[in-house]
Amino acid sequence: MKKNVIKQMMLTLSLVLGLITWGCDDDSEKSWSVDSDPVLELKAAEIHSQQGRTIRIEGTVSDEVGIKKINLNIDDWYLDRDIQISTNDSLVKEYDLRYDFEVPADAPDKGHTIRVTAYNMGDRSASQTVEVFMDGDFDNPVLDVENPVNGLTMAPETEIPVDINALLTDSRQLGYFVVKEPSINFYDSVSFMGTGKMQHEYQNTAALPAEVGEYNFEFILADSAGNKVSESRLVKASFDFDKLYLADVDTDEELTSDLFGVPMLISKTEPYNFEAEYYSEAPGTEVRFIPQTTSFEPHCYGLDPDDPSKLINDPQNALPIVLEEKGYYRITLDLENLTYEVESYVPDDWYFEPKMEHPDDDSYIETEYVGNLGLVGKGFPEYPDQNWATWAAIEFERDPENNYRFYKTLDMEGTVEFIFQPEHPWGWWPEPFWRFDRKVDPEKTILKGGDNVAMEVPERTTYKVTFDSHLNRAKVVPVE
């Protein structure tokens, strides 16, 4: 009985194997009667790229019987790829082609042809080619609007000429440039197509009416590949400035050679009225006031040479206010009535003191130690260990005559970032610390808040850092 069972099982297995073998033979021998080619439509006949970038071949393939495979071939790049689509048992009649691959890093700067061929189940085919050029442009052009500065405020005593100056650059070829201000019907454009220009300095003048208002200038720059950048500038026609700065230097060069802090922002107390608190480091310091940060033009307030008890807005003739003694001063200005007052004062607020004593036993905690105040950050080649390490803080020199004033002269290079932070031998971050109101071109320091300052110093340069914790002001100026 047992032998009969085994015999029956073997017979059944043979039948199953026979069926499987017969099925495979039928599948491989099946022929297709097809009297038309597949339909191949590529999305683009040209691709503009660069060596090392990934490109995509896109298109659609359709066939009423079934799509067998798609072949992509370019011998120069050793690409010969079959994408299998259908089998006799599983037919695909429509297919979206999306094939990505990287252009070889050593591909010559010339056109390269990729042949795309679609086959149907009857082995009929249709082919198209894609030309790949190594002239792709993927970098945005650079738009540097030098004038007007954003927030420029002009007194509308008469029609106001606004000088426009912009430097336009691109790594391959400029396309077009547009500047416009619709409310005054100002529109100008320049086309560079076909010129091959990679750099252009644009200059023009727009006229604002002699009336109070705000004007938004829009700048648009595109390169020949269509990469586009834009900027906007707000220009105000008003007798009331949003900001006013104290300038204790004499030239435009000194206004712009600092990393930040010159000129010094002062406080606006009400319309047309400002108050400056300032420390005169030596007797006879001369100060003037400007609403723009990079020049003494077009507005500069100082003493009227014909009546020194009054102010005058005249870059050429305004005389400086002279602070006779060393120390702190409070200067109030009324730009509507052109009046001012100057008084000296002595601060009585809190100032920073280190706390460097701590217990010797295990009861020690981090808040019981606050070291000397210094700079913590990066970009200081003389201090290679200072890479955001409080244990290696670059210690300030404290003014022996003023507990609020701190100084440090040091070299900076590359990406420079820092805050004002006490040193700590174990690398902790004790309070108090000072950051800034913004990362780029900060105008004041923020106690226990704010952002880390971030600057680029292209070549190694020596700077003097000055910090006044009473004024919450800091500056970084080059040292000759």
Report all structural domains of the chain as residue ranges with CATH numbers, in order of start: 39-133 (2.60.40.10), 142-237 (2.60.40.10), 245-345 (2.60.40), 366-478 (2.60.40.3620)
Residue 33 pLDDT > 60, yes or no? Answer: yes
pLDDT tops 70 at residue 14: no
pLDDT band of residue 127 (cuts 50, 70, 90) is very high
- Conformational region of residue 212, where left means phi above 0, alpha means psi within -120 to 50, and beta covers everything else: beta
**Average pLDDT value over all residues in the chain:** 89
Q: pLDDT digit string (tens) for 273-322?
A: 999 999 999 999 999 999 989 899 888 999 999 999 999 999 999 999 99
Amino acid at 25: D
**pLDDT at residue number 357:** 66
pLDDT of amino acid 137:
74
Cis peptide before 104 (omega within 30 of 0): no
Cα 390 from Cα 388, distance rounded (Å): 6
Average pLDDT over residues 17-40: 59
DSSP per-residue letters across 280-343 = ESSTTEEEEEESSSS-S-S--EEEETTEEEEEEE-TTTPBPEEE-SSEEEEEEEETTTTEEEEE
Percent of the chain with pLDDT over 90: 72
Tens digits of per-residue pLDDT, 385-401? 999 999 999 999 999 99
**Whole-number pLDDT of residue 204:** 97
pLDDT at 149 over 60: yes
pLDDT band at 242 (very low <50, low <70, confident <90, very high): confident
pLDDT (0 to 100) of residue 369: 79
Q: What is the pLDDT of residues 77-94, one digit of tens each?
A: 888 999 999 888 889 999
Q: What is the pTM assigned to this prediction?
A: 0.60
Residue 364 has pLDDT above 90, yes or no: no
Residue 366 has pLDDT above 70, yes or no: no
Cα 242 from Cα 155, distance rounded (Å): 12
Predicted confidence band of residue 358 (pLDDT cuts 50, 70, 90): low
Average pLDDT over residues 237-246: 90
34 pLDDT more than 80: yes
Selection from 264, 299, 306 nearest residue 281 by Cα: 264
Q: Report helix, strand or coil for 461.
A: strand
- Rounded CA separation 87/77 (Å): 29
Higher-pLDDT residue of 5 and 244 is: 244
For residues 203-225, average pLDDT: 94
Condensed to tens digits (0 to 9), the pLDDT of residues 435-473 reads 999 999 999 999 999 999 999 999 999 999 999 999 999
Q: Quickly state the pLDDT bin for 50 (edges 50, 70, 90).
A: confident
Q: How many CB atoms lie within 10 A of CB 251?
A: 11
